[in-house]
């Protein structure tokens, strides 16, 4: 089976076709997600919270990311595979390249990093070395202590403008995908219109080019409080329906622009 490419995802944006993304951390989930039609598997460092039981993503190591990326990559067929850099493993351009090479060797197609214009030297070095890069703006879980908690970002005029400026700068520097986390829906729509690469929203309203959720949240498996922007798709399917039905419902609702609705967005 042919694997999707970053160019395919960009063409989906151009056609106005929504991109369905979910996190995946192991082979069994990755297979079910593929079967349901998910286009991008994100090996997120959220695994530190939902798999490892940490309170934040900060304790996750690059070896953890390599381990889970190889599990997902072993069974991946059609989906595009993005892996997160773990905390403090992309502090300098050289360190980022070494970490990225480990993730790519484990099977990632693209690496994801958190941050705005301060990341430009790192992004440039990765792109110059032919490493595809995904950006991540808005709520940055690796900076949760600096941000003072898991809060919606870009609510004031200056914060919103910074996110738009960063999105344009990162996309000019060569990132090919951009995750927007926990920002007002109107701001995410403006960012999406301002750049020609796909935006993938989580808590960023319905107008992003695609949507992502943490798979344990959308199955109601994570014991912590489910965020406002997530939904329990397993519960919604009703008794007796399996995990694959929940994944299929997610893909369908993303494609039909039924998810996220106003209830699962910030204004």
- Using CB under 6 A, list all residues that contact ligand KIV: 23, 42, 44-46, 84, 179, 181, 202, 212, 214
In whole angstroms, the minimum distance from the beta carbon of 43 to ligand KIV comes to 8
CA dist., res. 1 & res. 236, Å (int): 32
Catalytic annotation on 181? yes
- CA distances, 94 to each of 125, 128, 158 (Å): 8, 12, 32
Residue nearest to ligand KIV (CB): 44
Q: Could you tell me if 54 and 37 are in contact, meaning their C-beta atoms sit under 8 angstroms apart?
A: no
Q: Could you tell me if 80 and 34 are in contact, meaning their C-beta atoms sit under 8 angstroms apart?
A: no
> Per the structure block, which two tokens stand in for 80?
């595009």
In whole angstroms, the minimum distance from the beta carbon of 102 to ligand KIV comes to 17
In whole angstroms, the minimum distance from the beta carbon of 247 to ligand KIV comes to 16
Active-site residue, selected from the candidate residues 114, 181, 239, 244 = 181
In whole angstroms, the minimum distance from the beta carbon of 42 to ligand KIV comes to 6
Q: Report the largest interatomic distance among the alpha carbons of the chain, rounded to a whole angstrom.
A: 51
Name the packing angle between helices 120-128 and 157-173 (round to 10°): 20
> Per the structure block, which two tokens stand in for 198?
């796909």
Are β-strands 80-84 and 40-43 bridged in parallel, bridged antiparallel, or unpaired?
A: parallel
Nearer to ligand KIV, 2 or 176 (CB): 176
In whole angstroms, the minimum distance from the beta carbon of 238 to ligand KIV comes to 27
Please report, in angstroms and rounded to a whole number, the separation of the first and last CA atoms in the chain: 40
What are φ and ψ of residue 148, in 5° steps? 75, 30
The catalytic site residues sit at 181
């Amino acid at each position: 089976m042919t694997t999707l490419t970053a160019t395919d995802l960009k063409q989906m944006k151009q056609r106005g076709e929504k991109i369905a993304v979910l996190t995946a951390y192991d082979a069994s989930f990755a297979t079910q997600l593929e079967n349901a039609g998910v286009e991008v598997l994100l090996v997120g460092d959220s695994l530190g919270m939902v798999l490892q039981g940490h309170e934040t993503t900060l304790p996750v190591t690059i070896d953890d990311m390599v381990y889970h990326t190889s599990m997902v990559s072993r069974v991946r067929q059609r989906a595009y595979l993005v892996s997160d850099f773990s905390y403090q493993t992309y502090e300098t351009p050289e360190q980022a390249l070494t970490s990225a090479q480990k993730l790519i060797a484990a099977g990632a197609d693209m690496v994801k990093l958190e941050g705005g214009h301060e990341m430009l030297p790192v992004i440039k070095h990765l792109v110059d070395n032919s490493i595809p890069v995904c950006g991540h703006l808005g709520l940055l879980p690796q900076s949760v202590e600096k941000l003072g908690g898991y809060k919606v970002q870009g609510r004031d005029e200056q914060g919103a403008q910074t996110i738009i400026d960063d999105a344009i700068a990162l996309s000019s520097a060569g990132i090919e995908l951009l995750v927007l986390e926990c920002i007002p829906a109107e701001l995410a729509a403006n960012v999406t219109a301002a750049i020609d690469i796909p935006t993938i929203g989580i808590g960023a309203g319905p107008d992003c080019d695609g949507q992502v959720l943490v798979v344990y949240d959308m199955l109601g498996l994570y014991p912590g409080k489910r965020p406002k922007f997530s939904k329990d798709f397993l519960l919604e399917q009703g008794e007796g329906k399996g995990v694959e039905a929940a994944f299929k419902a997610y893909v369908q609702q993303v494609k039909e622009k039924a998810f996220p609705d106003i209830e699962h967005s910030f204004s």
